[in-house]
Amino acid sequence: MDLRFNTKCVQGGYTPGNGEPRQIPIIQSTTFKYDTSEDMGKLFDLEASGYFYSRLQNPTCDHVAAKICELEGGTAAMLTGSGQSANFYAVFNIAGCGDHVVSSASIYGGSFNLFAVTMKRMGIEFTFVDPDCTEEELNAAFRPNTKAVFGETIANPALTVLDIEKFAKAAHAHGVPLIVDNTFATPVNCRPFEWGADIVTHSTTKYMDGHGAAVGGCIVDSGKFDWTAYPEKFACLCTPDESYHGVTYTERFGLAGAYITKATAQLMRDLGSVQSPQSAFILNLGLESLHVRMKRHCENALAVASYLEKHPKISWVNYCSLPGNKYYDLAQKYLPSGSCGVVSFGIKGGRTAAEVFMKHLKVGAIETHVADARTCILHPASSTHRQMNDAELAAAGVGADLVRMSCGLEDAQDLIDDIAQALEQV
């Protein structure tokens, strides 16, 4: 039966047989037992499917990955230990020393550092482009050794909306896949494969878990990018992997499975970064209510943004679902039923006023986290970015007055009342 999205959130990825556990079982075992060495040998040769060591694959994690795969409309998926490792693996699976990647400049700071510093040390160069650039400017960023394009559906923290079709068109014109980090939108609000993206990543730590309980990540493949059309560029997928008994991933697993099988068999084997079965179980509890929670996160954020917009002590509000926002039209196209729960705004009076405001909040808690059921709020200038002076903050696009609020699942009126009383103290 072809199930609808909401039903997949609740029941996708795992169908118990007669008398089997209703919940996804937590298989808390590092290893798996076989009767003969031949049986196990077949697994090592990737000739039979099954489990042998939880650093590569674990049944609990696979059920949860299968659910996220269904939600995104992909052909294969894997869980990772964090969103950071998901983005690292997604790129490193197809790009190595001497290669180049085009990325939107408007991405999560941790991803920017991973690309611009750590992966640069591995010999992979990134060109960062303004997400609002013209098609000509975007095309000009490509080089003969470009292997992928990267962007975030809704960027953290700038809240820019990626023109997925524009980025997909440019990527495909240059024979490379588009990787989209869909963390903030979640597949409830946007399914990037429907707009041309080839690979999707997630920090499941955010809305997918949604309760601030488990760090994790996920990579999903659409199965649509034809690696075999560029066998030299993607030799890692189209020629025998000597480190894996000479398997050629595209031949053995087809376009539907080659990319994720390689990332599992090669990168997980060598680098680790697995998600624990316990964390995967917790993640699945979050996924079961993702469609219900996202709706409320978005309603609360829109109510808060609309209130802030009219408040005399607020100088600006940034929320892409708010009419008049620079990204409103793109948000209506890619995120018509809602964007995310994160709103940023500026308080008149700058750093000092923002500090006073933060001090008086009673419902919103000061945290670096976002996307939790509980409202969390951050003033970067006095916390994560406190080493910067006002001029440096402005240059980084994080003004001294900027407050980022991740609206939780509380009553919207309580969030508004809390903001109102804290602003009265400013």
Least CB distance to ligand PLP at residue 248 (A):
31
Nearer to ligand PLP, 156 or 325 (CB): 156
Asked if residues 247 and 240 have their Cβ atoms less than 8 Å apart, the reply is: yes
Shortest-Cβ-distance residue relative to ligand PLP:
83
Least CB distance to ligand PLP at residue 144 (A):
29
Dihedral of the alpha carbons of 31, 32, 38, 43, in degrees to the nearest 10: -80
Least CB distance to ligand PLP at residue 150 (A):
11
Nearer to ligand PLP, 82 or 222 (CB): 82
Least CB distance to ligand PLP at residue 175 (A):
26
Please give the Cα distance from 318 to 314 (Å, whole number): 11
Nearer to ligand PLP, 156 or 250 (CB): 156
Least CB distance to ligand PLP at residue 84 (A):
4
Nearer to ligand PLP, 93 or 250 (CB): 93
Least CB distance to ligand PLP at residue 159 (A):
11
Least CB distance to ligand PLP at residue 202 (A):
8
Least CB distance to ligand PLP at residue 152 (A):
5
Nearer to ligand PLP, 182 or 261 (CB): 182
Nearer to ligand PLP, 104 or 250 (CB): 104
Where do contacts with ligand PLP occur on this chain (CB under 6 A)?
A: 82-84, 87, 108, 110-111, 152, 156, 181, 183-184, 203, 205, 215, 217
Nearer to ligand PLP, 70 or 181 (CB): 181
Nearer to ligand PLP, 297 or 351 (CB): 297
